[in-house]
Amino acid sequence: MNIYFEQGLKEEALFIENAVFSVYQTTGILVQEDRSRYLRYNQAVGGYEPGGLPKMLSLTLTAKDLFNSNSISAEDDYLYGFANQCAWVSVCRLRSKNDRPVLEVEIDEPMYSQRLEHVAIHELGHIAVRDQKHFREYIITNKTTRHQTNTGEHCTDKRCVMSQFDDLKFLDEHIDKRYPKYFCLQCQASIRIS
Ligand SMILES: [Zn+2]
Ligand SMILES: [Zn+2]
């Protein structure tokens, strides 16, 4: 499986390659490539949404701020990654202290690595976990504006890497409570990456 990364993200790509190998036993081939041709710029939110993603298993690491298709709220609709037949991870907000899009890493190295690992395993899990009968649609509601963001189907086991998280604070707490082997038994039983 190819792991694509933009210029400046080689260290992150190497780290993710290791994590992917240890969890999915699949070898990642690192390729430096700007894959923005598969994204569409959304002016309303000042970020990028999927636009004709390739139908081939891969993981792409980008510093661009990623959004849902047809996003309208820059404050609510951003994503740390997404997956369809290919998985994407954005470092743009994972680097930050408070969910803002940033250019530099603002947190300590172990925390950054843990977030990267979690999101990469999670996004690939959307492809690799074949039996998703125990998944449920997940909707985040902004407490002030009531704006709703649908982040799709996720595992209902809150300790599983495939459960959804609302923000970075939630993500960091989730990482602490997560199963040592990442997945719940139900997800684990149907993992197949190919
Ligand atoms: Zn997800
Ligand atoms: Zn699960």
> CA of 122: how far to CAs of 7, 27, 41, 46, 104, in Å?
23, 17, 24, 25, 23
Instruction: For residue range 7-28, list pLDDT tens digits in order.
Output: 999 999 999 999 999 999 999 9
The neighbourhood of ligand 2, an ion, using CB within 5 A, equals: 155, 157, 160, 162, 184, 187
Q: How many CB atoms lie within 10 A of CB 16?
A: 25
Domain boundaries defined on the chain? 2-189
Q: Which ligand is nearest to the CA of 156?
A: 2
Q: Is the pLDDT of residue 69 over 90?
A: no
Instruction: For residue range 36-49, list pLDDT tens digits in order.
Output: 999 999 999 999 99
DSSP secondary-structure letter at 38?
A: G
Q: How far is the CA of 87 from the centre of ligand 1 (A)?
A: 10
Instruction: State the average pLDDT for the chain.
Output: 95
Task: Give the whole-number percent of the chain exceeding pLDDT 70.
Answer: 100
Instruction: For residue range 102-141, list pLDDT tens digits in order.
Output: 999 999 999 999 999 999 999 999 999 999 999 999 988 8
pLDDT of residue 116: 97
- What letter represents residue 7's amino acid? Q
Instruction: For residue range 168-179, list pLDDT tens digits in order.
Output: 999 999 999 999
Q: How far is the CA of 74 from the centre of ligand 2 (A)?
A: 29
pTM recorded for the entire structure: 0.96
pLDDT of residue 42: 96
In DSSP notation, 76-111 reads TSEESEEESSSEEEE-TTTTSSSS---SS--S-HHH
Q: Which ligand is nearest to the CA of 155?
A: 2
Give the pLDDT mean for 141-154: 89
Q: Which CATH number does 2-189 carry?
A: 3.40.390.10
